[in-house]
A and B are shown apart, each in its own frame.
Chain A
């Protein structure tokens, strides 16, 4: 290959390497009001005289403020939101802030994890303190230089001001002196009403790289001498490798080696296409080592589990059996959700270079610390010998909590003794496991003659689901007699956390069932929920682990904004859910189009505490709603003899633009510290939509995906 363009190969490698290195690609961004100033920083530029204040922050004499963002960015906007919090307390000039993705560094940072909607709640105070501490040091340096009291000084937009004399110094001018000031231990944080940056719509700090195609993701990592690798794993869950004939594969041009480890057959070579071609030429025999399960088996297993005596009791309040005996009316319904693939748009991949002097890992992972520890253990070396640099993640949705592909890359590099980039194909990704578990629920509600819910039973039965209930969530605490239990079938099919784990399907089932109960009680669904919450407030039953007022707040806001009960020609469904510390209520508007129900609009009322970045927050809510909607209606992963029956986007359906309704978003402004937003908008959507479809058609949708349900086909 000869490259005769003016963009030299060397330059490309430098760019690719720096993207992997994560240290030098940054650009100057502005808020939505100012004109965009973008630049790609050169590494020498960034290195020039920058003075570290703390793990998050350095300031250079020419007023460039570098803020390190430690957590993996997968689209939840953390790489923009974290630095905003630091910059707010620093009173920095936002247009002069450069954001840099920090590598894994357990000495500098805590909880470098993306998961559980927890990054902002966990780091809110420490990020504020990081900014405020540096600001205080700058104030004290200016006070010393001007021989005035620090109390007489103020800051604005990256400048320390002495109002009495009109003197000013920029942060850059003060940085060297300020860095020598003893670090204050007790700094005053801003009053939230004085926030200038937090709460504004600030553009994504990686916009320029993303819209111009700069190397940014794990798949874009390139190193000299690097080989590409793909792995053929067993084609069904429950199978193991028996024998391999790699002769034909090794004869394919570009193939360097074929190696076998564990149940994997890896092809290593000089291009992605050639190693994939060679992989198809492998002749491999597998044998069963566990049952090869099909979806029809699971349907039978669910029925057994729902009537089993072996379930684990998760919560028990009062005397449920007595309540059901004296009930005037009993409502019973079962709900089921299928396995789902995470399907982030960037398939799994990782770069690994295992050398005698240490191990270099680069790529997309939500849990870098655990991945490093696992690699160190696998290779029997000290974790300090392993570096891990984070690339931007092309989506995660929970899949990249699991570092199986990092371990594969490291083991493969250690075997072939070369730097390698392991690439999963889309088919590997979809058929390779760690799915959202399939779950079936049975709900029972006992009503007295006045329509009060006096008894409530929930049985959750799942395939490798752990406990598929959230026993302390609403309506627990609002019902005198309650029993929640769960039971699990252990399967060779691997499962894991999927955005809003458990609640992504539990909320649908529960909120749709409560709609059925409200109907049986002849009560308005919103009023029914509010009455239950009043009951939980006034006469709580057992422990209550959700905030009743915050839940009522979003219910009332959603009902008001959606015009609940006041709209002509629209069928509305209601849903509310508490997950990951935040509260979201949704109203779905369904209209009939050509005789079929169509979701026209979803109104979402959100209480996540203080909104950090309004632009990113809108994205999280709209994206969560679309995620919840698309998977409830369309997506379905099934099994035949242990193998996934869907393998790519031609037979596994994701929602597309034409299928997306309008989504209106409303935030509760209550000034409490942020409580997380990556997941909570997703869980309520399926229930709101199912309830609206019921109103429009009289058909209850109790199983996902909706599109496969006979109830919908006969409308």
Chain B
């Protein structure tokens, strides 16, 4: 076991875990940040997506030892001062979710994408979101919500 200092959502955390523990399980089991979801464990479905230094990262395949000096944002950190992020607002307005389990990962992928491409085409949205599986099939509304969020962020 080793003690890791982590910067998550602008706060400092410590976790005493094995170095190979994926960030996903540190967030969920050690820090109580359960918004980041386990879906496949092999970086295939995107349910566990977080931001590491602003980039989308599959936390299920990202060891905590690599995260020690990084700035990490999870779904719990998107709200600021009680106000939802524009992407979250769009997700609510478009009423995207069915079961909702994959949506935190979808939102994290979308926020990272829009921060780098604020004026995406429909095709660019589809390419950016293609790595996130939604088993319920909410893909149309995900695409619509990302486009709506882009207009909100202007």
Contacts and interface: CB of A to CB of B under 8 A. Distances in A.
Nearest to B101: A394
A253 B44 contact: no
A623 B137 contact: yes
Interface stretch (A256-264, A340-348, A527-535, A538-546): A340-348
Interface stretch (A268-276, A284-292, A330-338): A268-276
Interface in B98-143: 98-104, 107, 126-127, 129-143
A326 interface: no
Contacts of B88: 211-212
A219 B30 contact: no
A383 to B, nearest CB: 28
A14 B31 CA distance: 14
Given A208-B92, A345-B37, A346-B101, A271 B139 contact: no
B48 to A, nearest CB: 11
A395 B101 contact: yes
Contact of B38 (A77, A219, A271, A662): A219
A212 to B, nearest CB: 6
Interface string A43-87: 000000000000000000000000000000011110000000000
Given A211-B91, A345-B133, A658-B130, A623 B138 contact: yes
Interface stretch (A171-179, A307-315, A506-514, A624-632): A624-632
B21 interface: yes
A657 B25 contact: no
A548 interface: no
B13 A3 contact: yes
Contacts of A650: 42, 44
Contact of B133 (A277, A656, A662): A656
A213 B101 contact: no
B54 interface: no
Interface string A1-38: 11111110100110110000000000000001000100
A401 B76 CA distance: 31
Contacts of B134: 345, 657
Interface residues of B, number: 70
Interface in B1-50: 1, 8, 11-18, 20-22, 25, 28-42, 44-45, 47
Q: What's the dominant secondary structure at chain A's contact region?
A: loop
Interface string A605-635: 0000000000100010011111100100000
Contacts of B140: 622, 660, 662-663
B67 interface: no
B109 to A, nearest CB: 11
Contacts, number: 213
A214 B17 CA distance: 24
Given A392-B99, A397-B135, A271 B42 contact: no
Query: Interface centre among B22, B33, B84, B139, by most A CB within 10 Å?
Result: B139
A626 B30 CA distance: 37
Given A272-B28, A656-B130, A658-B127, A615 B135 contact: no
A619 B101 contact: no
A648 B40 contact: yes
Contacts of A149: none
A626 B143 CA distance: 15
B137 A345 contact: no
Contacts of A215: 34
Interface residues of A, number: 78
B52 to A, nearest CB: 17
Given A204-B95, A344-B99, A654 B84 contact: no
A7 B99 contact: no
A296 interface: no
Contacts of A425: 41
**Dominant secondary structure of chain B at its interface with chain A:** loop
B133 A654 contact: yes
A1 B100 contact: no
A394 B91 contact: no
Interface in B42-79: 42, 44-45, 47, 74-76, 78-79
B148 interface: no
A619 B100 CA distance: 12
A217 interface: yes
A281 interface: no
Contacts of B29: 228, 271-273
B138 A649 contact: no
B135 A343 contact: yes
Contacts of B102: 345, 394
A207 B97 contact: yes
A623 B136 contact: yes
A426 interface: yes
Given A32-B93, A271-B29, A343-B135, A212 B84 contact: yes
B78 to A, nearest CB: 7
B76 A213 contact: yes
Contacts of A222: 32, 34
Contacts of A214: 35
Contacts of A627: 136-137
A3 B76 CA distance: 16
A228 B21 CA distance: 15
A504 to B, nearest CB: 14
B141 to A, nearest CB: 8
B139 A210 contact: no
17 contacts: A203-B95, A211-B92, A213-B76, A253-B1, A271-B29, A271-B30, A343-B135, A345-B37, A345-B45, A345-B133, A347-B38, A392-B99, A425-B41, A619-B141, A623-B98, A649-B42, A658-B127
Given A624-B137, A654-B133, A658-B130, 7 more contacts: A211-B107, A213-B75, A219-B38, A222-B32, A394-B100, A649-B44, A658-B126
